[in-house]
Amino acid sequence: MNSNALFASLFFSIIAPVLSIVAEDNEAFWNSVYKDNHVLQIEMKISRDSWEQMQPQRDKSARGNGRADFNNEFNYAKANLTIDGQPFPDAGLRFKGNSSYRSSRRGLKRPFKIDTNRFIKGQKLHGRTKLNLSNAFLDSAFMKEKLAYGLYREAGLPTPQTGWANVVLSIEGIAEKKPLGIYVVIEQMDERYLKENLQGDPQQSLLTKPESLDDWEYLGNEPDAYQQYNIKFGKTNTQTIQRFMETMKLIHTASDQEFAEKIQDYVDLESLAGYLAATSLLANIDSYIGMPHNYYLLLNDPKDKLQLLPWDVNEAFGTFTLFGQAEQLANWEINRPWIARRKLLERLFETETFPKLYRNALTQLMEEAFTEKRISGQIDEFKNALTPVIQKLGDEALESFEMGIEGDDRGRNLSVERKTLAIKPFVRQRIKSVKAQLKGTEEGVSLSRRR
């Protein structure tokens, strides 16, 4: 046996089994977090200098060009983290979010992003390097994101997994082991996620996260112009970008006949119908259908169909009240499941086939996933996981937790600053309204931007 063959034999007989065991351990750990509701214990220790480095600067690139500005420039700084007893010295820590950050910037319970690999390469938490920590600033039950992503998953869309973390924060000269309470942990949409969940190849795929374009635009035939779509992966994949350009051109310039005949070859209509159905039931307005952010666009290769993927669903369950009051959101009309001007949806709902596709997706979710029994069962499961942790935070935290689920005698969640319905009252009213609309006995509430 030559030396190369001997090395290969040794690798597969010794190293490969070890890698397999490590992979199984990693999978088992994240299953415990995302599926079995294990609550991570995270302690953050930050120097005063690092805390100052983390404070954001506004992104001025979108100003003065007629486009929305939703970005803060958040900088990573070094922090010493301990996650479930495992130390991560000099890990990367920064803030994240838009409204979730703005609402909390005067306090300490802000949304965070962790990158254990940022400053010391190779630091991983069971094979992962990044975690998103949502502060659930409008959800004192800490369940809306997990429930919402679950519904999108039932609608056939790949979504990030969600869990929880109990976080303690120390900042030199400011706070010493300050309990921040429960955060929602959101899986990172990175290259690993692209490969494992979206069947994507970074060498071919195009993943964008639009945040400055109010609606999708056809920007001409120059590939560089499409960097405005905030490309996360695939900036140099010119063939896939070309496909993306052709899709936008079809949406904006094709005749009605050409659009109706060809759009199914360029956009995954079944996936889009599922997205709209779930978004409608959740009244998830702070998303593609109402605002120019909180979603991804994916093309796996130059011959693939464009997919729209949900992201940042913290204002689902009728929480985003810019377009209507809480009760109006629970009664939102189902026949026009978008609010802001959306060229693609306006054209699709003029075709013969897509409204039926959407209505079928909506009906199926109502029969199987978006039911009081199903959602109440999920809430009970989540309560069992969270209650022991929240009890240790005190009676006030426990009362707020229950208020987020049940609400007051009017169904309102009085534990948050915005006038929103608690989860169960919203679900009951939304189901009642949608059933009546499907039967044709009610029309639903038309929403528009409140001034």
Domain co-membership, 184 together with 204? no
Kindly state whether residue 333 falls inside one of the protein's structural domains. yes
Rounded to an integer, the average pLDDT of 374-393 is 97
Residue 367 — pLDDT band, cuts 50, 70, 90?
very high
Tell me: pLDDT of 62 over 60. Answer: no
- Domain residues for the domain of 31 are 16-135+159-191
Domain co-membership, 290 together with 242? yes
Tell me: pLDDT of 340 over 70. Answer: yes
Contact by Cβ (8 Å): 76, 92: yes
**Residue given tokens 């000099």 in the structure block:** 90
Rounded to an integer, the average pLDDT of 288-311 is 95
Domain co-membership, 117 together with 214? no
C-beta atoms surrounding 64 within 10 Å: 8
Kindly state whether residue 1 falls inside one of the protein's structural domains. no
**Residue given tokens 């970005």 in the structure block:** 71
Domain co-membership, 53 together with 117? yes
Residue 61 — pLDDT band, cuts 50, 70, 90?
low
Domain co-membership, 184 together with 271? no
> Across the chain, what does the average pLDDT equal?
92
Kindly state whether residue 232 falls inside one of the protein's structural domains. yes
Question: What is the SS3 assignment for 294?
Answer: coil
Query: Which amino acid belongs to residue 95?
Result: F
Kindly state whether residue 373 falls inside one of the protein's structural domains. yes
Tell me: pLDDT of 20 over 70. Answer: no
The reported pLDDT for the residue numbered 354 is 98
Output the DSSP codes for 98-165: SHHHHTTTTSS---EEEETTSSSTT--BTTB-EEEEE--TT-TTS-HHHHHHHHHHHTT-----EEEE
The reported pLDDT for the residue numbered 4 is 61
Q: In terms of Cα–Cα distance, which of 83, 102, 93, 89 is closest to 53?
A: 93
The reported pLDDT for the residue numbered 15 is 56
Lowest mean pLDDT among 4-8, 104-108, 367-371, 392-396: 4-8
Tell me: pLDDT of 57 over 80. Answer: no
Per the document, the length of the chain is 451
Rounded to an integer, the average pLDDT of 210-239 is 94
CA atoms of 27 and 336, how far apart (whole Å): 41
pLDDT in tens, 119-171: 999 999 999 999 999 999 999 999 999 999 999 999 999 999 999 999 999 99
Kindly state whether residue 431 falls inside one of the protein's structural domains. yes
The reported pLDDT for the residue numbered 42 is 98
Domain co-membership, 389 together with 358? yes
The total number of structural domains that make up the chain: 2
pLDDT in tens, 418-447: 999 999 999 999 999 999 999 999 999 999
Domain co-membership, 323 together with 182? no
pTM score, two decimals?
0.92
Domain co-membership, 182 together with 211? no
Domain co-membership, 127 together with 248? no
DSSP 38: P
382: region left, alpha or beta (phi > 0 left; psi from -120 to 50 alpha): alpha
pLDDT in tens, 168-205: 999 999 999 999 999 999 999 888 888 888 877 778 99
Query: Which amino acid belongs to residue 212?
Result: S
Domain co-membership, 187 together with 203? no
CA atoms of 252 and 239, how far apart (whole Å): 20
pLDDT in tens, 84-101: 999 999 999 999 988 899
Tell me: pLDDT of 298 over 70. Answer: yes
**Residue given tokens 């082991």 in the structure block:** 177
Domain co-membership, 72 together with 131? yes
The reported pLDDT for the residue numbered 24 is 84
Domain co-membership, 34 together with 97? yes
Backbone angles phi, psi at 82, to 5 degrees: -125, 120
